[in-house]
Chain A
Amino acid sequence: MSDDLHTLTLTQIAAGLEAGDFSAVELTTSLLGRIDSFNEPLNAFITVTAEQALAAASQADEARAAGNAGALNGLPLVHKDIFCTKGVLTTCGSHMLDNFMSPYDATIVERIKQAGAVMLGKTNMDEFAMGSSNETSFFGPVRNPWNLDCSPGGSSGGSAAVVAARLAPAGTGTDTGGSIRQPAALTGTVGLKPTYGRVSRYGMIAFASSLDQAGVITRSAADAALLLGVMAGFDERDSTCIDHPVPDYVAGLSGSLKGLRVGIVRQHFDEGLDEQTGNAVKESLAVLESQGAILTEVDLPNIDLSVPTYYVVAPAECSSNLSRFDGVRFGHRANDPKDLFDLYCRSRGEGFGEEVKRRIMTGTYVLSAGYYDAYYLKAQQVRHLIADDFKKAFANVDVIAGPTAPTPAFKLGDKTDDPITMYLNDIYTIGANLAGLPGISTPCGLVDGLPVGLHLVGPHWGEEAVLRCAHQYQQQTDWHQTCPEGYE
């Protein structure tokens, strides 16, 4: 057995398992060893499920021997700790749920499990997915494998760091405003957020229901396509999950970019974008052009309003979604409550961190009588305008390309005192959430030794377009294969 199993992508592992080069148990054992050695400074895991992983790997090997290999048979991955996993701690990065054993599996957890995959553990994240640096986690910040002083981004920072550090070839994530794509950009990994309604939200602890979407962080577009094929599809337990056919995403990767119309949004290259990051993105656009893509400028006249719009809609929904954490049925409960009011106040006061409280208060405010029209209703109207802008733009282009985040990874602690600056980190990604569109971030360069991402957004159900574009770009470049030092 070779000792470089961690360098393999999902696609390579699938081939290796099928060829009998190694077993799922060997692979799992190897990765668990690696997690043991590398997790401590990274703090990427909240829970490592070694025992269950080995059992699942052994089952996968048996299934393969019996000729019953599933689509992901024996493939290792990690789940963001926002997904409910039966019998496994599911914390959502919060003190509120640090004792919560989920009694059920999220739909995507169930589907991935049924396909034969092996879960290695649950990854760290910003508390209730509220954050862009992974610093709001009750379990402490995740460190970026490219520079341990830096943030891996967030909120799916744990999954991104795990994949970047080659502790697992893939991880699930959730993206409400950029929480898959931004950490992918900051860790040199591939992050895919599907169309809203493409993947079931059942069992994914809600932050902002109309924006949340589950996706994946991998090391290649091909791996993202493989996983999405298993996760996507109708689920009768989620009313917002749409019954739309699931294409063969892997098959959709091939085909040249010749004639692909790539839209460039002028505002995305304005001030606020770090110059070197901008240059790296422009170079990647030139690569696409060299592959036959046609670059055209598109106008999204209201895109500048996306951050303020998001910070009304998302907190409003979260203020209501998080009401169920009241200390009554599950999760943290304050000791010796004097009365009901005291039970509520202290359970929630102790259980939630600062950023979560900030958003609950903001959301409560914008939904209050007398403010609803001025904030929530207005934000919903602007949201429609932004979605319309995208719709018009996609009449003329196939994908929209630009930077994923305005800068490479920033230092831990740099932005924690200034929520507005932190919020601006998602300025290029939020639009896709407001409009419900699929987006992918693929590594497109290094700035001062830190990775930056190219962001590709497609129209509704345009996963195939963005995956193919990213995959073809990855055939011409090797940024996605660049490994942080010490994790080779």
Chain B
Amino acid sequence: MSAAWEVVIGLEIHTQLATNSKIFSGASTAYGAPPNTQACLVDLGYPGVLPVLNEEVVRMACKFGLAVNATVARRSVFARKNYFYPDLPKGYQISQYELPIVEHGELHIKDADGNDKRIGITRAHLEEDAGKSIHEGLDQSSGIDLNRAGTPLLEIVSEPDLSSAKEAIAYMRKIHTIVRYLGISDGNMAEGSFRCDANVSVRPRGQKELGTRSELKNLNSFRFIEKAINFEIERQIELIENGGKVVQETRLYDSDKDETRSMRVKEEANDYRYFPDPDLLPVEIDESYIDKVRDTLPELPDAKQQRFIDEYGLKNDDASILTMNLALADYFEEAAAASDAKAQVVANWVIGDLSGALNRGGVEVESSRVSAEALAGLLNRIHDNTINVPSAKKVFAEMWSGSKVISVPTGDLKLAGQIIKDLKIEQITDTSAIEAVVDAVIAANPPQVAEYQSGKDKLIGFFVGQVMKETDGKANPGQVNAILKKKLVL
């Protein structure tokens, strides 16, 4: 991207609230049921039915508002957004318009230079989701599945404070982390529980007025969002640089072609004829309610990150990675508490080997095959010199694959010990035993010995490797190193 251009991005994130029942009816919100089996008469918009607010959504929205340092409205109002579409049963969507439940929030991300950047949250409002139109597999007709109709959503609207796709992703990840910390959304993007529209515009650096924006829809993975925004930025700059003009429009991102294309221009935009829904009373919240909700707030990601730095002495980046996922942070804390190893060592294993295994296996940390306690037990065996790090990796792999898992009645903490015994990989720390192997290696490699002695220090690695090989990787690497250096001296 040219340095002559400045990018302005605002995001609208729709996050599905993790309630058991819908926002205005008692029907279940569970995902994946056969079409139209989780839509009651209220969701179907039958004549005479009325919406009744699920109070749980108010509590959840309030929680979010407090977590992003926003104003929680003492009075908010549901409004009708009127438009016709087959998957919108009532011919209007119940949303909040002039008086949303959350306003004036903020959160902080790191910009490209690693500096702290404040991103404003204009508002967050409650609304119901629509159903789904189904076109695939139907000849000359469309199907409608209203299971999703009436599912509660919190729409979180940012200020146009984001200056790059990277910042947009950082902001979105932060929101994603927060809603999951709060337990108000499962954040499952594949199931559409967390999705986003992006308003993107560009302007010559230094220009005050905003450029004309386009709205990107259908962004349902972090990767696509970044790609779509970057494509759109390039498209707009190229357009303007070639003498063209950006038109205000809605564009759809096509992940197959990695491009955005026009869906509708502003002139075709609907007049939604918003007005307060006369079927619902204004939502009134008092101070004591907000205080009660505040008392239920968990430690939030930023605070936890700082605590991990202060309490465990972790590196900033590691603290950030660990706290991005509450379950991972909990895992780390549990392992650190059970382990004698330094917290940073625990962090390295959680971020490295454990996360790697989770990713490869496509497993959430909550269902990790290596428990935090088992990992702690393993790290304890490194710490007390029972095994070295390479052996520990073998033990970890055994733990993960579970092929040699014997029942360990005394708990996961002892699991590492069992596997070490089983694999017979206790570390060799007996100096005379190591010396014997070192002597043999030196004797077997006269040319390398000569080279080393003529000043090629780097060859020490070769000797260490040979000794480790001879000991099946069990020798204590520190001791091997020290003995080699002593014996290789001319």
Contacts and interface: CB of A to CB of B under 8 A. Distances in A.
A367 interface: yes
A236 B80 contact: no
A233 interface: no
A83 B48 CA distance: 8
A202 B275 contact: no
B278 A317 contact: yes
B252 interface: no
Given A84-B48, A104-B41, A238-B50, A326 B280 contact: no
Nearest to A364: B273
Nearest to A92: B47
A328 interface: yes
A367 B51 CA distance: 21
Contact of A320 (B41, B44, B89, B91): B91
A323 B82 contact: yes
B90 A323 contact: yes
B92 A323 contact: yes
Given A239-B281, A324-B90, A340-B86, A372 B48 contact: no
A369 B266 CA distance: 15
A166 interface: no
Interface string A158-202: 000000000000000000000000000000000000000000011
Contacts of A209: 278-279
Interface in A195-214: 201-206, 208-210
B47 A239 contact: no
A440 to B, nearest CB: 24
Contact of B47 (A210, A324, A344, A367): A324
Contacts of A364: 273
B91 A324 contact: yes
Q: Is the interface of A mostly helix, strand, loop or mixed?
A: loop
B45 interface: yes
B48 A239 contact: no
Interface residues of B, number: 28
Interface in B64-106: 80, 82, 84, 86, 89-92
Interface stretch (A95-103, A119-127, A132-140, A386-394): A95-103
Most interface-central of B47, B51, B279 (chain A CB within 10 A): B47
B271 interface: yes
B144 A328 contact: yes
A320 B92 contact: yes
Interface string A289-327: 000000000000000000000000000110110111110
Interface in B13-62: 41, 44-53
Contact of A329 (B45, B48, B80, B281): B45
Contacts of B50: 201-202, 237-240
A320 B273 contact: yes
A53 interface: no
Nearest to A377: B275
Given A239-B280, A367-B273, A203 B84 contact: no
A79 to B, nearest CB: 12
A204 to B, nearest CB: 6
B84 A376 contact: no
Contacts of A323: 82, 84, 90-92
B47 A368 contact: no
Contact of A240 (B44, B47, B92, B279): B279
Interface in B203-218: none
Interface in B128-149: 144
A317 B90 CA distance: 13
A90 interface: yes
Interface in B144-172: 144
Main secondary structure of the interface of B (DSSP, over half): loop
Contacts of A487: none
Contacts of B273: 319-320, 364, 367-369, 372
B279 A204 contact: no
Nearest to B142: A340
A388 B206 CA distance: 54
A382 interface: no
A370 to B, nearest CB: 9
B144 A320 contact: no
Contact of A202 (B45, B48, B53, B86): B48
Residue among B49, B86, B144 with max Cβ neighbours from chain A (10 Å): B49
A103 B46 contact: yes
B271 A239 contact: no
Nearest to B52: A239
Contacts of B89: 324, 328-329
Interface residues of A, number: 45
Interface string B358-379: 0000000000000000000000
A137 B89 CA distance: 25
Contacts of A204: 48
A334 to B, nearest CB: 14
Given A316-B275, A323-B90, A324-B91, A97 B47 contact: yes
B45 A324 contact: yes
A30 B80 CA distance: 48
Contacts of A210: 278
Contacts of B281: 239-240
A328 B92 CA distance: 14
Contacts of A104: 41, 46
A372 B272 CA distance: 11
B86 A239 contact: no
A54 interface: no
A106 interface: yes
A344 B84 contact: yes
Interface in B266-286: 271, 273-275, 278-281
A236 B54 CA distance: 12
A239 B90 contact: no
Contacts of B275: 316, 320, 367, 372, 376
Interface-centre pick from B90, B91, B281 (highest chain A CB count, 10 A): B91
A239 B49 contact: no
B47 A103 contact: no
A348 B390 CA distance: 74
Contacts of A205: 47-48
A340 B52 CA distance: 30
Find the residue from B44, B50, B89, B280 having the highest chain A CB count within 10 A.
B50
User: A208, A239, A330: which has the most chain B beta carbons within 10 Å?
Assistant: A239
Interface string B213-256: 00000000000000000000000000000000000000000000
Interface in B330-357: none
Contacts of A206: 47-48, 279
Interface in B256-313: 271, 273-275, 278-281
Contact of A203 (B48, B53, B144): B48
A170 B279 CA distance: 28
B44 A239 contact: no
Contacts of B49: 202-203
Contacts of A84: 47-48
A320 B82 contact: yes
Interface string A338-378: 00100010000000000000000000100111001000100
Contacts of B48: 83-84, 102, 106, 202-206
A369 B271 contact: yes
A125 B45 CA distance: 23
Nearest to B81: A320
Nearest to B273: A367
Q: Which 8 pairs from chain A and chain B are nearest by CB?
A: A323-B91, A210-B278, A209-B278, A367-B273, A203-B48, A324-B45, A205-B47, A84-B48
7 contacts: A92-B47, A237-B50, A240-B50, A317-B278, A323-B90, A324-B47, A367-B274
Interface of A: 83-84, 90, 92, 97, 100, 102-104, 106, 201-206, 208-210, 236-240, 316-317, 319-320, 322-326, 328-331, 340, 344, 364, 367-369, 372, 376
Interface of B: 41, 44-53, 80, 82, 84, 86, 89-92, 144, 271, 273-275, 278-281
Given A206-B279, A238-B52, 5 more contacts: A102-B46, A202-B49, A238-B50, A330-B46, A368-B273
